Chain A
Amino acid sequence: MAEFLSLHDAVARYVQDGATVAMEGFTHLIPFAAGHEVIRQKKRDLTLIRMTPDIIYDQMIGAGCAKKVIFSWGGNPGVGSLHRLRDAVEKGWPRKIEILEHSHAAMACAFEAGAAGLPLAVFRGYIGSELPSVNDQIKFIECPFTGERLAAVPSVRPDVSIIHAQRADRQGNVLVEGIVGVQKEAVLAAKHSIVTVEEIVDDLGATPNACVIPSWAISAVAVAEKGALPSYTHGYYGRSNRFYKEWDAIARDRDTFTQWLDENVYSKGEKR
């Protein structure tokens, strides 16, 4: 059964220095509150996995949490570059980071394979792409039945996955609605999982085929109201496109970024 913890305690217990962490949410339901808690607790040497690093990993990379990032599209959607990711990759600030890049199809399949308990994902991909020449985790295998050459990547099996969702019931069962991305797969693929939610309710109000993650498949549930902002929570609040645009100027400069981090992350945080 999922344990109800404060966000502080959930991160303190399950995110260890050096851990492999997946914080998912495909543009929607990005667990920003949890990301900020990881920054505040000064977690270090993390391997961060995420299809679209988005500005959540830009912030965590700039804060020095990451030693490696595994991703498939590293931009500020519709705006431009992730300047903190680029500064780390190109100039090594605040530390050098390693990157391992895939395509979306590869990562989606790798999360699914992780959830399915398989060591690898097999798919028809990377044909003619030069990504396999810079990522030694991309291999090709021959189909034993047809002889077709198919791509293979190792499954994603994080130490801990963190997602944000609309709500949990009092038993800790979680409802995820809208663009569900690879969140269920991320939770099921991980050794431990933290789900932050907007609220705890008596009844999830889930339809029969809704995306519900059972309490017993989750390690911890933590309430984090508006926990996805500036991303959004379908049915609760919209995406702050304005902040995504403002982030470009904030993140472009190390000093502006550091000041933003001080004012908006380090000096905030839940009461314990």
Chain B
Amino acid sequence: MSLEYTSSEMMSVTAARALENGMTCFVGIGLPSEAANLARLTHAPDVVLIYESGTLQTKPDTLPLSIGDGELCESALTTVAVPEMFRYWLQGGKVSVGFLGTAQIDRFANLNTTLIGDYKAPKVRLPGGGGAPEIATNAGEVFITLKHSKRAFVKDVDFVTTLGFGRDGKGRDNVPNIGKGPTRVITDLCVMKPDPETKELVVVSLHPGVTREDVIDATGWEIRFAEQLESTPEPNENELTILRELKARTERAHAGE
């Protein structure tokens, strides 16, 4: 019997399943944080979660609203200064996966969180790079999760804040001491992976009930599909229950002072 779930829940569960037990994950705020904590509360109890606020191996009971909520520090193994976090733990090669969100992503998985339009006269000013530019290059690999839309999935980003594979797909070639880069992109419609040769994102798995046309309509370039296109496994009851409890706890916590 099939369970009822939303496309957002499908995205979070699929993103969570990407994390393996024992990985060390540098977590971005928002959807990545939701997925990473769901992983920790389900199949990956020993996943190590690190947030850029310096909180190392943290186990928050509710999802943080900001990257530096007190809950992250109180439930962490230890909290280090921010320079140490970026220098020793990230740049030092102790992070196996960076988990990022973004405002815009292009076919080579470059991320834009800087602005829409021209830099000197922006149409929309976005928050900026934050930790992402160095997470994306210093972590062993990168997972990206965001909602699928034509506004977000563009052929070429307006600004490369954070390297995927560069404007030509060759941005990581012959660069020493650099991670593998984005290895999967998880949306509310599908999972994409970079083509091993060209590095262009290719749909490898469609979520249940999603058609190729749905993905084509929500993508700003001529998206390709893998020859052996898979169907993403549905969430199970345990994952949905834990995700919903986590979100309910979080909502209650953020509604109060």
- Could you tell me the distance between the alpha carbons of A131 and B91 in the complex, rounded to whole angstroms? 19
Whether B22 sits at the interface, judged by CB under 8 Å, is no
B65 pairs with A244, CB closer than 8 A: yes
B55 pairs with A179, CB closer than 8 A: yes
- A60-68, A74-82, A255-263: which lies at the interface: A74-82
- Total A-B residue contacts, Cβ distance less than 8 Å: 183
Which residue of B has the minimal Cβ distance to A234? B70
Which residue of B has the minimal Cβ distance to A125? B134
Report, nearest first, the 9 A-B pairs whose CB atoms are least far apart.
A27-B68, A128-B163, A77-B66, A75-B127, A73-B130, A78-B65, A105-B134, A112-B83, A103-B133
Report which of B29, B66, B86 forms a contact with A104, defined as CB distance below 8 A.
Answer: B86
- Could you tell me the distance between the alpha carbons of A134 and B129 in the complex, rounded to whole angstroms? 13
* Chain A residues in 8 Å Cβ range of B178: 127
Whether B45 sits at the interface, judged by CB under 8 Å, is no
Whether A140 sits at the interface, judged by CB under 8 Å, is no
From 136 to 169 in chain B, residues with beta carbon under 8 angstroms from any chain A beta carbon are: 137-138, 159-163, 166
* Chain B residues in 8 Å Cβ range of A240: 257
**Residue ranges of A at the interface with B (Cβ–Cβ < 8 Å):** 26-28, 51-52, 71-75, 77-79, 81-82, 85-86, 89-90, 101-105, 108-109, 111-112, 123-131, 134, 148, 178-182, 184-185, 211, 232, 234, 238-242, 244-245
* Chain A residues in 8 Å Cβ range of B159: 130
**Residue ranges of B at the interface with A (Cβ–Cβ < 8 Å):** 29-30, 52-55, 64-70, 72-73, 79, 81-83, 85-87, 90-91, 110, 114, 119, 122, 125-134, 137-138, 159-163, 166, 171-172, 175-178, 253-257
- Could you tell me the distance between the alpha carbons of A165 and B223 in the complex, rounded to whole angstroms? 51
A179 pairs with B79, CB closer than 8 A: yes
Closest chain-B Cβ to A53's Cβ sits at a distance in Å of: 9
- Could you tell me the distance between the alpha carbons of A176 and B244 in the complex, rounded to whole angstroms? 36
Report which of A26, A71, A75, A126 forms a contact with B54, defined as CB distance below 8 A.
Answer: A26
**Given A28-B53, A28-B68, A185-B81, A128–B166 Cβ distance below 8 Å?**
yes
- Could you tell me the distance between the alpha carbons of A235 and B128 in the complex, rounded to whole angstroms? 31
* Chain B residues in 8 Å Cβ range of A127: 133, 137, 163, 171, 175, 178
A182 pairs with B65, CB closer than 8 A: no
A103 pairs with B70, CB closer than 8 A: no
B129 pairs with A73, CB closer than 8 A: yes
* Chain B residues in 8 Å Cβ range of A78: 29-30, 64-66
Closest chain-A Cβ to B34's Cβ sits at a distance in Å of: 12
Closest chain-A Cβ to B92's Cβ sits at a distance in Å of: 10
Closest chain-B Cβ to A175's Cβ sits at a distance in Å of: 14
Report which of A105, A125, A178 forms a contact with B73, defined as CB distance below 8 A.
Answer: A178
Report which of B65, B87, B163 forms a contact with A77, defined as CB distance below 8 A.
Answer: B65
B82 pairs with A241, CB closer than 8 A: no
Report which of B65, B72, B82, B125 forms a contact with A89, defined as CB distance below 8 A.
Answer: B125
A239 pairs with B66, CB closer than 8 A: yes
User: 18 new A-B pairs (CB below 8 Å) besides A128-B166, A241-B65?
Assistant: A74-B128, A81-B127, A89-B122, A89-B125, A104-B134, A123-B86, A123-B91, A124-B91, A125-B91, A125-B133, A127-B137, A129-B133, A148-B177, A179-B53, A239-B66, A241-B66, A241-B254, A242-B256
A129 pairs with B160, CB closer than 8 A: yes
* Chain A residues in 8 Å Cβ range of B137: 124-125, 127-128
**Given A27-B66, A179-B68, A108–B82 Cβ distance below 8 Å?**
yes
Question: 12 A–B contact pairs at CB < 8 A?
Answer: A27-B53, A73-B131, A77-B67, A89-B125, A103-B130, A104-B52, A104-B131, A125-B137, A127-B175, A129-B163, A179-B54, A240-B257
**Given A27-B66, A148-B177, A238-B257, A103–B127 Cβ distance below 8 Å?**
no
* Chain A residues in 8 Å Cβ range of B177: 124, 148
Report which of B119, B126, B127 forms a contact with A134, defined as CB distance below 8 A.
Answer: B119
* Chain A residues in 8 Å Cβ range of B125: 74, 81, 85-86, 89-90
